[in-house]
A and B are shown apart, each in its own frame.
Chain A
Amino acid sequence: MTLWQNYLRPKTVAEAVDALVHAPGPALPIAGGTDLLLDLKQGRHAPVHTLIDLTFIPEMTLLELRGDELFIGAAVPVNRIALDPLTGRHAQALAEACNLIAGPQVRNTATLGGNVAHALPAADGTIALTALEAQAEVAGVSGTRRMPFTSLFLGPGKSALDKSAELIVGFYLPKTGKGQASCFKRIMRPQGVALPILNCAVWLEREKDIVKDVHIAVGPGGATPFRATEAENTLHGQSFNSETLTRTLESLLGQAQFRTSARRASADYRRHIVGGLFMNVIETAWKRAE
Chain B
Amino acid sequence: MSNSSVGQSLPRPDALGKVTGQTRFSGDLSRPGMLHMKILFADRPHARVKHVETGNAQAAPGVMAVFTARDVPVNEYGLQIPDQPVLCGPGSDKPNTDIVRCMADQIAVVVARTESEAEHAVKMIEVDYEDLPVLTDPLQAMKTDAPILHPDRGDSNICVHYKIHKGDMDAGFKSADVIVEGEYHTPVQEHAYLQPEAGLAYLDEEGRITVEAGGQWTNADQSGISHALGMPDDRVRVIYPAIGGAFGGREDLSVQIVLALAVWKLQQPVKIIWSRRESIVGHGKRHPITIRAKWGATRDGRLVAAENELIGDAGAYMYTSNKVLGNAAITSSGPYFIPNFKTDVYGVYTNQLPSAAFRGFGAPQALFMAELQMNKLAEKLGMDPAEFRLNNALQDGLTMNVGTPAPGPVSIIQCIHAARERFQWNKYRRRRTKPHIRRGRGFAAGFKNVGFSFGYQENCWAKVEIHGDGDIERVIVHHAGAEVGQGTHTVMRQVAAQVIDYPAEKIQLHTSDSATQGNPGSASASRMTFMAGNAIKGAAEAALAKWKTEERPAIAEYKYLAPRTTPFDKETGHSTPNFSYAYVAQAVEVEVDIETGQVRVLRVVSADDVGKAINPDLVVAQIEGAIVQAHGYAVVEDYRTENGRVLTDQLSTYLIPTIRDIPEKVDSVLVEVPDPNGPWGARGLGELPFLPLAPAIAAAIHDATGVWIDEIPFTPERVLRALGRIR
B595 / chain A contacts, CB cutoff of 8 Å = 273, 275-276
User: Which residues from A are CB-within-8-Å of B648?
Assistant: 263
Q: What is the CA–CA distance of A263 and B653 in the complex, to the nearest angstrom?
A: 7
In the assembled complex, the CB of A192 is this many whole angstroms from the nearest CB of chain B, namely 4
Q: Which of A95-150 contact B (CB under 8 A)?
A: 103
- Say which residue of A189, A194, A268, A271 sits within 8 Å of B715 (CB atoms): A189
**B720 CB contact (under 8 Å) in A190, A192, A272:** A272
Write out the residue numbers on chain B whose beta carbons fall within 8 Å of the beta carbon of A268. 717, 726-727
Q: In the complex, which range does the number of interface residues on chain A fall in?
A: 20 to 34
Given A187-B596, A194-B655, A269-B716, A276-B436 contact (CB < 8 Å):
yes
A46 at the B interface (CB under 8 A): no
Looking at B22-30, B183-191, B565-573, B656-664, the stretch in contact with chain A turns out to be B656-664
**A6 contacts partner chain B, Cβ-Cβ < 8 Å:** no
Provide the bound-state CA to CA distance between A268 and B652, in Å. Answer: 23
Q: Is the CB of A191 within 8 A of B596?
A: no
Contact yes or no, B647 A276, CB < 8 A: no
Instruction: Give chain B residues whose Cβ lies under 8 Å from the Cβ of A187.
Output: 596, 598
Give the contact-size bracket for chain B.
20 to 34
Q: Residues of A contacting B436 with CB < 8 Å?
A: 276
A263 to B651, CA, bound (A): 12
Q: What chain B residues lie within 8 Å of A276 (beta carbons)?
A: 436, 595-596
Q: Return chain A residues, CB-CB under 8 Å to B717.
A: 265-266, 268-269
In the complex, B725 has a CB within 8 A of chain A: yes
Which of A1, A190, A269, A271 is within 8 Å of B660, CB to CB? A190
Cross-chain contact A262 with B640 (CB below 8 angstroms): yes
The residue among B598, B647, B653, B655 with the most chain A CB atoms within 10 A of its own CB is B655
Interface contact B598-A269, CB-CB below 8 Å: no
The contact string, 1 if C-beta is below 8 Å from chain A, for chain B 695-723, is 00000000000000000000111001000
| Interface: A193 (CB within 8 A) | yes
Instruction: Knowing A266-B717, A272-B725 are in contact, say whether A192-B598 is a contact too (CB < 8 A).
Output: no
**A275 contacts which chain B residues (CB < 8 A)?**
595
Task: Provide the bound-state CA to CA distance between A231 and B353, in Å.
Answer: 47
In the bound complex, CA of A264 to CA of B609 (Å): 39
Whole-angstrom distance between the alpha carbons of A265 and B597 in the complex? 12
Q: Is the CB of B119 within 8 A of A1?
A: yes
Contacting pair B726 A191 (CB below 8 A)? no
Q: B116, B716, B726, B727: which contacts A189 (Cβ < 8 A)? A: B716
CB pair A193 B640 closer than 8 Å: no
Q: Cβ of B120 < 8 Å from any Cβ of A?
A: yes
Q: Say yes or no: is B619 at the interface (Cβ < 8 Å to chain A).
A: no
Q: How far is the CA of A265 from the CA of B720 in the complex (A)?
A: 12
Q: Name A's interface SS.
A: loop
User: Contacts A268-B726, A269-B717 hold; do A263 and B657 have CB atoms under 8 A apart?
Assistant: no
Bound-state Cα–Cα, A1 to B716, Å: 42
> Contact: B658 with A193, CB < 8 Å?
yes
Report the separation of the CA atoms of residues A112 and B564 in the bound assembly, to the nearest whole angstrom: 65
Q: Does B272 contact A (CB under 8 A)?
A: no
> Hey, which chain B residues are within 8 Å of A273, CB to CB?
595-597, 716
Residues from chain B with Cβ under 8 Å of A269 in the complex? 597, 716-717, 720, 726
Cβ of B492 under 8 Å from chain A: no
B202 shortest CB reach to chain A, Å: 27
Question: A272 to B726, Cβ gap below 8 A?
Answer: yes
CB distance from B98 to the nearest CB of A (A): 29
Q: Closest approach, in angstroms, between the C-beta of B659 and any C-beta of chain A?
A: 8
Give CA–CA (A269, B725) in the complex, Å. Answer: 9
Residues in chain A near residue B727, CB distance under 8 A: 268
Query: In the complex, which residues of chain A have a beta carbon less than 8 angstroms from the beta carbon of B720?
Result: 269, 272
Asked if B604 is an interface residue, CB under 8 A from chain A, the answer is: no
Contact with A along B650-677 (1 / 0, CB 8 A): 0011010110110000000000000000
Q: Distance in Å from the Cβ of A240 to the closest Cβ of chain B?
A: 21
Tell me whether B652 and A193 are in contact (CB under 8 A).
yes
- Can you list, as one digit per residue, whether each of B579-604 has a CB less than 8 Å from chain A (1) or not (0)? 00000000000000001111000000
Binding site for A on B (CB under 8 A): 116, 119-120, 436, 595-598, 636, 638, 640, 642, 647-648, 652-653, 655, 657-658, 660-661, 715-717, 720, 725-727
Contact sample, A vs B, 29 pairs, CB 8 Å cutoff: A1-B116, A189-B715, A189-B716, A190-B657, A190-B658, A190-B661, A191-B658, A191-B660, A192-B658, A192-B660, A192-B661, A193-B658, A262-B642, A262-B647, A263-B648, A263-B653, A265-B717, A268-B727, A269-B597, A269-B716, A269-B717, A269-B726, A272-B720, A272-B725, A273-B595, A273-B597, A273-B716, A275-B595, A276-B436
Q: Which residues of A contact B (CB under 8 A)?
A: 1, 103, 187, 189-194, 262-263, 265-266, 268-269, 271-273, 275-276
Extra A-B contacts (20), CB below 8 Å, given A1-B119, A191-B658, A192-B655: A103-B658, A187-B596, A187-B598, A189-B636, A191-B661, A192-B661, A194-B655, A262-B640, A263-B638, A263-B647, A263-B648, A263-B653, A266-B726, A268-B717, A268-B727, A269-B720, A269-B726, A272-B726, A273-B597, A275-B595
